[in-house]
Amino acid sequence: MTITELLRNPWPWYVAGPLIGLTVPILLILGNKSFGISSSLRHICAACFPAKIPFFHYDWKKERWNLFFVSGIFVGGVIAASLLSNPSPVVVNPALAADLSHYGITDYHSLVPVQIFNWQSLLTIRGLILMVGGGFLVGFGTRYAGGCTSGHAIMGISTLQWPSVLATVCFMAGGFIMANLILPFILAL
């Protein structure tokens, strides 16, 4: 197996999981840094829009490493999408395919279903709820919870922080409720 083939295929959980988990001790050992992605938006706003808003009034330059980290995620995504993309269609469980076809979603072989996520759909009630409402809830929830899923689940739990355990449990419960109870109602619109 070549390196390109190795990078194009999904890695098993027992390889990817420890690699993600090792990020926490490496960041802590190298500079007492906390892993998290959502805080980078705050740093960007503090750098680009200097104002007297107390939330953005801090020394964001101490957190430059976080902006480089997030930039690396973006660049890595571009490289992976352009050079390492797997030409095979996304494999969907047959039971999920049957459920999706019940709601009129038949093109699910790309990263997102095009019947839901497109410019024409944005102007419908379902599209507004899924894209605009969902984006708002993710942003609001991230701020309200004091961090995102990656920060709480990876960094917070590994450093034994009780609020992160509680937040992660709530993230998971909210995801299950959304996927099983609310999303079918929205897709039926």
pLDDT above 70 covers a percentage of the chain that reads 98
Q: Kindly report the length of the chain.
A: 189
User: Can you tell me whether residue 152 is helix, strand or coil?
Assistant: helix
pTM of whole model > 0.75?
no
pLDDT above 90 covers a percentage of the chain that reads 10
Q: Is the pLDDT of residue 54 over 80?
A: yes
* DSSP tally for the chain: helices H, then strands E: 13, 0
d(Cα 114, Cα 149) in Å, to the nearest integer?
26
Read off the pLDDT of residues 165-177 as tens digits, 9 standing for 90 and up.
999 999 999 999 9
Read off the pLDDT of residues 121-180 as tens digits, 9 standing for 90 and up.
888 888 888 888 888 888 888 888 888 888 888 888 888 899 999 999 999 999 999 988
Read off the pLDDT of residues 74-108 as tens digits, 9 standing for 90 and up.
999 898 888 887 777 777 888 988 888 888 888 77
